[in-house]
Every structure is written in structure tokens, then in C-alpha cells.
Structure 1
Amino acid sequence: MRLSGAVLAALALLVAVPPSGAASLGEAAPKPRPFGAECRTGVAGSAVIAYCHNPYPETDRVRLHVECDQWWDIDVDSAPVEAGPAQTVRLTGRCWKEVRSAWVSHQK
């Protein structure tokens, strides 16, 4: 079976043209918007303090998590605090004895 030139041209066009809405090879995918407050966490003895500054226009809900070193010492998860645009918030937590680790989580 031989295909005519018109049929071959139509098939080549179908393969070469992407469907509408599809990105071609030369187009870049949309970049995600940056999000999340920048946080600095410090430990002094059994106390933990974190300062979080949000430079972005969306609100970031931040929480401080503190893991205590002793097995009997209760770990701490703070209540979420909203860090609005261009706002700095302070989070605190503590253990009875030594702090094993501390970190801040983010939520849109």
C-alpha cells in the first residue's frame, strides 16, 4: 500500500504540531512562586527561640518543634503563628533539661 504525498504531509503535520495548551520544546514550564518565611533558631540551655521573617506576599503559618534529649522530658510543638507579608514573628519553646533538636515547620 502506497501513501500519497498529501496523506504523508497530513501525518507529518499531526506529529509535528502539539495539541493546544501543550508546551512546546522551546517553552519553559511556569516557575512556582517562592513561599515561606526565613527562620533563625537558637538554643540557650533548655530554651529555644526562633525568629521568622516572611518576605513574600502570602501569609506563612509557622510552628516551632522542640525535641528534648531526656526520654521523660515532654517534646514541644507550638501553636501555629501567622507570619504576614513583611512581618517577623518570635516563637519560643523549652525542655526541662537538654534540647536534642529544634526546627520550624511552614504551612500555606
Structure 2
Amino acid sequence: MKKTLTVLIAAGALLGAAGCSAAPPLSNEETCARIQSVGAGPTSNSDKAGMIRLANRIRPIEATASEELQAPLHSIIEYLDESAQPTPDAGKLAELQAPYTAAGQTLNEVCGAGGQ
């Protein structure tokens, strides 16, 4: 019984370590394709629940996004997170608005029809 438990713990540790290794960043084209698949999903960001769903769909993309698109995705997630709060801080939202708008423009330039 002890040997089996030890083997299971060791296997779990190896799998955990393998899961924690950093994936190589995606190219802009791959990142854009993933972003577009999220945008095509049935998520409405007009209500708080929709903003939460959208931010949660973007988070895994940000983790492996191309270097050029990581910062814009992070800005979008920050804005959506603050907007989805039960009582959003108006000052913080105003502070996050410019980076959020710039992020949208960057995504449009990089992922737009002429950007690929």
C-alpha cells in the first residue's frame, strides 16, 4: 500500500511539473485566431456576467499570446474585471479606459484584415 501511494504521489508530482512548464508564445496569427474564436462565441459583454465570461475566456489566451499582444490583452482583462465588480470604482475605470481603448486599437491593427 505504501509503495502504491508513493508511486501515485511521484506520478502526480511529475504531471504537475509538466503542466507548469511554460508554453512557447504563440505567433500573432495564432493569437489572433484564438481571440477571434472567443469573440465569435455566445458572450455578451454588455452585462456584468458577460464581462466576467469574456475576461475568463481571454485569460488563457493572454498566458500564451504573442509578446506584442500580451499587454493589450492584459489591459482588456483589467478593464473587464473592474467593470464587472458589484460597485466599480469610477476613478479606476477612468484610469483603465485609455489603455483599454489603445488595446482595442492594437488588436484591430494586428488582427484586422490588413494586419495579418
TM-score, scaled to structure 1: 0.22
Structure number with greater Rg is: 1
TM-score, scaled to structure 2: 0.21
Structure showing the higher helix proportion among its residues: 2
Structure showing the higher strand proportion among its residues: 1
